[in-house]
Structure 1
Amino acid sequence: MSFLSLTNIKKSFGPVQVVHDFNMGIEKGEFVSFLGPSGCGKTTILRMIAGFETPSDGRITIDGKDQGSLKPNQRNIGMVFQAYALFPNMNVHDNVAFGLKVAGASRSEIDTRVKQMLGLIKLDHLADRFPYQMSGGQQQRVALARALAVKPQVLLLDEPLSALDAKIRVSLREEIRQIQQQLGITTVFVTHDQEEALSISDRIVVMNAGRADQIGTPFEIYNTPATRFVASFVGTLNIIEAKVADPATGAVMVGDQPVTLAEPIANLKGGDTISLALRPEAGSIAESASGDTSLVGEVEATNFLGSVIRTRLRVGNDLISFDMFNNPGVVPPSYGESVKLRFAAKDLLVIRE
């Protein structure tokens, strides 16, 4: 049995069902991210694990113990919120110590544990400061230390980095992952930021309208999306419309150009319209580029993104983007230029709803 188990979870607010028959098992020490747009149900699931919301149906267990009858303060869970939620009238030491005091720990136990936690987040030199005297990143690390101080079975993180600037977000997410691995604590992380989820998770749950469209490793989610929604939400993706020419051989037409897919097309017939997915990094216009497939298009735009230059091609009715590394010795294609985009047939994925 999984350490954290969610079985047939449903949640409705009045007539509106926001979570539909959700099932997942999370292993001890695993870092799982719930990824999706606002309103997809990811935070509602987190709040049900914490006990702030009650499932309309289904069962949640931690280490085999049913959590249904337990109030939030009776569950051995640590939670970090988006808005820090530190006590403004308490210094760092007392904020981290709060849960331990409520639990009735002795003064010596509290002092020892707080010292351990502040050392873990590298803020032991700021124990006497108050929240208003600290940066947002420092406050969020204190909130993390407070959640971990009580030695919870499960750590819940509700978009903890969204209020921080970009550079602080990157450094703090790496720090959170390092601490999580060091402690081996089972962690559920909610985010709408795909880069965050891809960079620190063992597995990702991509949520769409109250359902899990796909559950898998970052590699699986990015490279083999199970649905059109996952394909379009995770990473930048070209969606190319094509007509099936010969399903047995995988032959299709993109506009007036023939393309042969790496595998036959199941359950379709000649003349059917399908959607193909192609990542921007899969294509190249270099003459030396490897690839058994190509499409010719006209350059519509070139965008300089620093280390990468992203170019958009018009191919029939589709706009196809591809990336090339910024090389001062290589001039990017210009507007209106006709170029051949080369790629491997295996990189074209058939997207099914």
Structure 2
Amino acid sequence: MTFLTLSHIQKSFGPVKVVHDFNMSIDKGEFISFLGPSGCGKTTILRMVAGFETPTGGTITIDGRDQANLKPNRRNIGMVFQAYALFPNMNVFDNVAFGLKIHGMAKADIEKRVKEMLALIHLEHLAERYPYQLSGGQQQRIALARALAPKPQVLLLDEPLSALDAKIRVSLREEIRQIQQQLGITTVFVTHDQEEALSISDRVVVMNAGRADQIGTPFDIYNRPATRFVASFVGTLNIIDAVVADPAASTVRIGEQVISLKEPLAANKAGATVQLALRPEAVSLTERPNGNLSLTGRVVSSHFLGSVIRTGVGVGGNVISFDSFNDPGVKPPAVGDTVALRLDAGDLLLLRE
């Protein structure tokens, strides 16, 4: 059931349009990630949902209610920022209780709710400590508990993990997802980290220059990118230049080798240059279960990375990279070796702008 709707949202700062006609319907309890580089408009959309920015055009509704005339404190939204934004003069208990006091909740109810929130994030034992006595991960957990304490309709997370070290980021993002599923709260998460977005989201919005290039499940975003930007931004990618050989037969030429694609090429003329995307993990030197294509090339690079060996193979003016697991009993290909790359035609994606 649609719970949060953004219809034809636009935002301009003076003559600069930073969000172009954005549309999305988010179901109740869904976890959505906005993924993209700095300046793509993802945080601006989040701030418009929160009420910190006013859309230049379009409407935002939550549970059927238009948010246009509601101030941020009237929207029943919880928000967690990159900078923890805890009150340094308040201990953990009072930080979590702050929103409840603003809402006029009774003292006994506040105490009960704060204890529930601290138990949820497993920090009950730190109730009397102050922010400066906590680690970064602990502070962000407290910020999350404070945002959730008033039982908001929607939880907004603006790059909440980017100030933390890698190990803490992984554990905390998993904890955020677990808490979100436990509470069933509709959540919008903004990040520039593709691994974060892919690992914890129900759906991902890939933003590019103020537009949503693609909205889909993590599986679809990674395996079936809709545009060249999505294909290149999400995951590692080989981009292969090819020439259309026979549009009707969907064949292309890579160097001197002709292969067939599963994607139609009827809209392209013979001799036209096209670009194909291929994930490194779709390539192998051994027979693949569905591998119906083979490309012969010469190894131009081989890098031993411990558990993985990354090999680059020159094919028709392109370098196709692939990763293979390290096997102590198998010697990796050496620079100068001629090898046959095995792949499935379905793994070659025709890139469109």
TM-score tier (shorter): over 0.9
CA distance, structure 2, for counterparts of residue 264 and residue 34 of structure 1: 31
Q: TM-score, normalised by structure 2?
A: 0.98
Deviation by residue 1:13-62 (Cα, 9 ceiling, x = unmatched): 00000000000000000000000000000000000000000000110010
Aligned CA RMSD, in angstroms, stands at: 1.2
Aligned position for 2:149: 149
Aligned position for 1:21: 21
Aligned position for 2:249: 249
Which of 34-43 and 326-335 deviates more? 326-335
Give the drift of 1:308. 2.2
Aligned position for 1:224: 224
CA distance, structure 2, for counterparts of residue 64 and residue 289 of structure 1: 49
8 Å contact from structure 1 (residues 113, 149) kept in 2 = yes
Mapped pair 1:317 → 2:323: no
Give the drift of 1:247. 1.2
> What letter corresponds to residue 112 of structure 1 in structure 2?
K
Aligned position for 1:74: 74
Give the drift of 1:288. 7.2
CA distance, structure 1, for counterparts of residue 342 and residue 219 of structure 2: 23
Which of 315-324 and 118-127 deviates more? 315-324
Give the drift of 1:174. 0.4
Give the drift of 1:287. 5.7
- Tell me: CA distance 1:56–1:148, structure 2 relative to 1, closer, same or farther (3 Å): same
Give the drift of 1:262. 2.2
CA distance, structure 1, for counterparts of residue 290 and residue 108 of structure 2: 65
- Tell me: CA distance 1:304–1:101, structure 2 relative to 1, closer, same or farther (3 Å): farther
Give the drift of 1:332. 1.4
Give the drift of 1:336. 2.1
- Tell me: CA distance 1:182–1:288, structure 2 relative to 1, closer, same or farther (3 Å): closer
Q: TM-score, normalised by structure 1?
A: 0.98
CA distance, structure 1, for counterparts of residue 306 and residue 46 of structure 2: 37
Pairwise mapping of residues 271-310 of structure 1 onto structure 2 (< 5 A)?
271-286=271-286, 291-310=291-310
CA distance, structure 2, for counterparts of residue 179 and residue 253 of structure 1: 51
- Tell me: CA distance 1:312–1:289, structure 2 relative to 1, closer, same or farther (3 Å): farther
Give the drift of 1:238. 0.6
Question: Which segments of structure 1 move beyond 4 Å, counting only runs of 4 or more?
Answer: 287-290
Deviation by residue 1:248-304 (Cα, 9 ceiling, x = unmatched): 111110111111112431311211111111100001013677611111122222233
Which of 258-267 and 319-328 deviates more? 258-267
Give the secondary structure class of the aligned counterpart of 1:3.
Answer: strand
Give the secondary structure class of the aligned counterpart of 1:167.
Answer: helix
Pairwise mapping of residues 1-353 of structure 1 onto structure 2 (< 5 A)?
2-286=2-286, 291-353=291-353
Give the secondary structure class of the aligned counterpart of 2:178.
Answer: helix
8 Å contact from structure 2 (residues 263, 349) kept in 1 = no
8 Å contact from structure 1 (residues 11, 17) kept in 2 = yes
Deviation by residue 1:211-252 (Cα, 9 ceiling, x = unmatched): 000000001101110000000001111110100101111111
Give the drift of 1:76. 0.3
Structure 1 vs Structure 2: percent identity of aligned residues? 74
Give the secondary structure class of the aligned counterpart of 2:89.
Answer: coil
> What letter corresponds to residue 300 of structure 1 in structure 2?
V
> What letter corresponds to residue 270 of structure 2 in structure 1?
G
CA distance, structure 1, for counterparts of residue 301 and residue 8 of structure 2: 47
CA distance, structure 2, for counterparts of residue 325 and residue 75 of structure 1: 50
> What letter corresponds to residue 229 of structure 1 in structure 2?
F
Which of 324-333 and 214-223 deviates more? 324-333
CA distance, structure 2, for counterparts of residue 307 and residue 163 of structure 1: 29
> What letter corresponds to residue 273 of structure 2 in structure 1?
T
Give the drift of 1:190. 0.2
Structure 1: runs of 5+ lacking an equivalent: none
CA distance, structure 2, for counterparts of residue 277 and residue 24 of structure 1: 27
Give the secondary structure class of the aligned counterpart of 2:301.
Answer: strand
Give the secondary structure class of the aligned counterpart of 1:323.
Answer: strand
> What letter corresponds to residue 281 of structure 2 in structure 1?
E
8 Å contact from structure 1 (residues 289, 342) kept in 2 = no
Give the secondary structure class of the aligned counterpart of 2:187.
Answer: strand
CA distance, structure 2, for counterparts of residue 149 and residue 124 of structure 1: 14
Which of 333-342 and 130-139 deviates more? 333-342
Give the secondary structure class of the aligned counterpart of 1:281.
Answer: helix
Between the two proteins, the alignment pairs up a number of residues equal to 353
Structure 2: runs of 5+ lacking an equivalent: none
CA distance, structure 2, for counterparts of residue 182 and residue 165 of structure 1: 25
8 Å contact from structure 2 (residues 250, 266) kept in 1 = no
CA distance, structure 2, for counterparts of residue 288 and residue 259 of structure 1: 17
8 Å contact from structure 2 (residues 238, 277) kept in 1 = yes
CA distance, structure 2, for counterparts of residue 306 and residue 109 of structure 1: 55
CA distance, structure 2, for counterparts of residue 123 and residue 320 of structure 1: 49
- Tell me: CA distance 1:212–1:270, structure 2 relative to 1, closer, same or farther (3 Å): same
